[in-house]
Amino acid sequence: MTIAVVILAAGQGTRMKSKIQKILHVVGGKPMVQHVFEAATAVADLPPVLVVGPGEEGVRRLFGARAVYVEQPAQLGTGHAAMMAAPILRGQVDQVIVTYGDMPLLRARTLAQLAAAQAAGGAAVVMLSVLGDPASSFGRVVRGADGRVAEIVEAAEARRRPHTAELLAIRELNAGVYCFDGAWLWDQIETLPVRQARSGPEYYLTDMIGLAAGQGRVVEAIVAEDADECLGAGTRAELAVVEKAFRRRANAYWLDHGVTLVDPESAYIDPDVTIGQDTIIWPNTYLQGRTQVGDDCVLGPNAILRDARVGNGCHIVQAVVEQATLPDGARVQPFTITSEVSDDYRLPT
């Protein structure tokens, strides 16, 4: 089975109230869309396809020739955005994964799980769902009497339907990640109905679920094991929530791999950082970029390491080490900034 991944990246994210496109805001040390791109690259057989808006340059500068770009000339909804990839993917792959560029905690292994389930069962769509709060604005995953997915009902639509309370009480929510049978997707996507949204006519990708169910095709929903994967960031407040989830994930990993975090709530570790065994990290310490830390180090409190290479047994307290190489046993004095690369750097204790 060959897989393509389409990343919807055309939205401006006006609720951010920013000059920067929403998906280019940094979470976990990288633009949000870069995390999604890296997960997509890990599972796709072709370069990821990014659906961008007219004249968009930020995403193109970020990925260059590593991606394929298609333009959505007008924002007519998620279904319309996915349609833009049809000319380059139709007949090229067996499976098409579609997801959003503002879900930076989404893992490659979850995308692979969706693809494996679709390949095994031949479903028209395998989607990711998440168990959440009934107050959520996410679409509800509605199942029939047989337990199969019948449709996705958006929260706003649920409020206009009979049995509103029953629909809104559904805890299984749509995460917005889909693996489609490629041939079926491109044959059917142009039949999506037009819906009238507040901003005008739109085509909803979620309507592909009801379309498949109405044809008697199987739609499968896999509930996310880690609800954090389904977090998106459309506002600054949501961005802060996603950043905290990133730190929670990273810190849990290092605690499980032989690193002591004296106060995990105040340790900030970027995803490309490596840390050796029995290193101790004190509060208010930031390990950023591609920092490499050896074994048996003591970092912090109040230390910042940015793209640094730190040998074994180093002590860095209340200091900044940026793009510097420290040998084994180096001790950096408090209230200093080290930014020169050196093979024999050692400050007196």
Q: What is the pLDDT of residue 345?
A: 45
Residues of the chain with confidence (pLDDT) below 50: 341-349
Q: How many CA atoms lie within 13 A of 27 on its CB side?
A: 34
Q: For the segment 235-248, what is each residue's pLDDT rounded down to a tens digit?
A: 999 999 999 999 99
Q: What is the pLDDT of residue 340?
A: 62
Q: What is the pLDDT of residue 346?
A: 46
- 297 vs 62: CA distance, rounded Å: 34
Q: Which CATH number fits domain 259-338: 2.160.10.10, 3.40.640.10, 3.30.2080.10, 3.40.50.970?
A: 2.160.10.10
- 9 vs 286: CA distance, rounded Å: 30
Q: For the chain, which residues make up each domain, given as ranges?
A: 3-230, 259-338
- 315 vs 326: CA distance, rounded Å: 10
- 90 vs 186: CA distance, rounded Å: 6
What sign results for the dihedral spanned by CA atoms 175, 225, 233, 59? negative
CATH architecture of 3-230: Alpha-Beta Complex (3.90)
Q: What is the pLDDT of residue 38?
A: 98
Q: What is the pLDDT of residue 343?
A: 45
Q: 268-277: long-range contacts (C-beta < 8 A, 24 or more apart)?
A: 270/28, 270/29, 270/30, 271/28, 271/29, 271/30, 271/35, 271/246, 272/29, 276/312
- 10 vs 177: CA distance, rounded Å: 16
Q: What is the pLDDT of residue 157?
A: 85
- 314 vs 161: CA distance, rounded Å: 63
Domains 3-230 and 259-338 share a fold: no
Q: What is the pLDDT of residue 348?
A: 37
Q: Token pair of 315, please? A: 């002590």
Q: What is the pLDDT of residue 292?
A: 98
Would you give the distance in Å from CA 233 to the centre of its chain?
Answer: 10
Q: What is the pLDDT of residue 197?
A: 76
Q: Apex CA 206: angle with CA 205 and CA 212, to 5°?
A: 100
| Residue among 147, 149, 220 at smallest CA distance from 180 | 220
pTM for the model:
0.91
Report residue 47: phi and psi, to 5°.
-55, 140
- 103 vs 35: CA distance, rounded Å: 8
- 138 vs 133: CA distance, rounded Å: 9
